[in-house]
Structure 1
Amino acid sequence: HPMDRGYTDYQQVIEQLALHYGVVGRIIYCHDIPLPALYHHTRGVVTVNSTVGLSALLHNLPVKVTGRAFYNIRHLTSQCSLDQFWLAPEPVHTELFNRLHSLIFRESQINGSFF
């Protein structure tokens, strides 16, 4: 999470979980790297409910939401199972995302920074 980046080292916990779930070598733990720099090496994004999902959609990457997110919409994010997502993620419906993106900025965003 951006508010926790670099303050807690999760490397050991992530390695233990990766071993437990059989995904060693498929997880990269990093922080302070701009997400768009990673997207060029990514075929999809799995998130709980983060704005990372919106960022991935903006870059036309398939997204699987595992929690609750207002943008978890059929044809926008993958509605298939997580197992199916790894094999064949559903593509982003670009026109639908553009309409949502426009609505978000028009109705709920103010230029500037919280910090």
Structure 2
Amino acid sequence: MPQETYTKSEIDLKFEKLNSDVQHGFEKVDMIVDNLRQEMRGGFEKVDIKFDQVNQKLDYSINHILSETRNLLLEQQVKEKAEREQERKATNRWLIGIAISLAGLIISIIVNFFLKK
């Protein structure tokens, strides 16, 4: 049968036990919250690392694409320069050929003019 009256020391002991239980409960909650914070911090750090890796890969890819584009443009410029050089040589050959033909024609006209006299 439960006791109907308690002494002051019994009540104080019960309050101390209750206070101790509440205090331990708060400490457990604080530990759980601290663990969650650490886990969240660790998760955020992992996400930051992943973002850094993605950024590095993107930077590498962009730099690679830019260097490939530069190389292609340089190759195209070299090809165009070689083509212009070939065209210039061909034009010079035509000009030399036309000059020789005109010189031959002029010489033949002069020779015919003096031989007919």
Q: What's the TM-score, normalizing by structure 1?
A: 0.16
Structure with greater helix share of residues = 2
The structure with more radius of gyration: 2
Which has a greater percent of strand?
1
